[in-house]
């Protein structure tokens, strides 16, 4: 499932995939794969992404109801 919430939060901070990747210590391809729904990040990476974007785990990674 695509992670549009992550993509929107990243864009809201005016960060490229590369800039977010650099901030959390992964490759741009990893961020791209998470946004596309092709990769399930570890909880450690989820937390690092949340901290970098100023969001909670619920805001970025909890699936929508429905």
What does the pLDDT look like over 3-29, one tens digit per residue? 999 999 999 999 999 999 999 999 999
**Please, what CATH class does the domain formed by 4-61 belong to?**
mainly alpha
pLDDT for residue 40: 94
In a 3-state reduction of DSSP, which class is residue 11? helix
Q: Which residue has the tokens 């785990």?
A: 57
Query: For residue 44, what are the contacts with CB-CB under 8 A and spacing of at least 6?
Result: none
Name the percent of the chain lying above pLDDT 90: 92
Residue 66 has pLDDT above 70, yes or no: no
pLDDT for residue 64: 77
């Amino acid at each position: 499932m695509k992670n549009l919430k992550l993509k929107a939060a990243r864009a809201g901070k005016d960060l490229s995939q590369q800039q977010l990747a650099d901030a959390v210590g992964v490759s741009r391809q990893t961020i791209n794969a998470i946004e596309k729904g092709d990769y399930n990040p570890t909880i450690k990476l989820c937390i690092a992404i949340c901290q970098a974007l100023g969001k909670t785990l619920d805001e970025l990674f909890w699936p929508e109801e429905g």
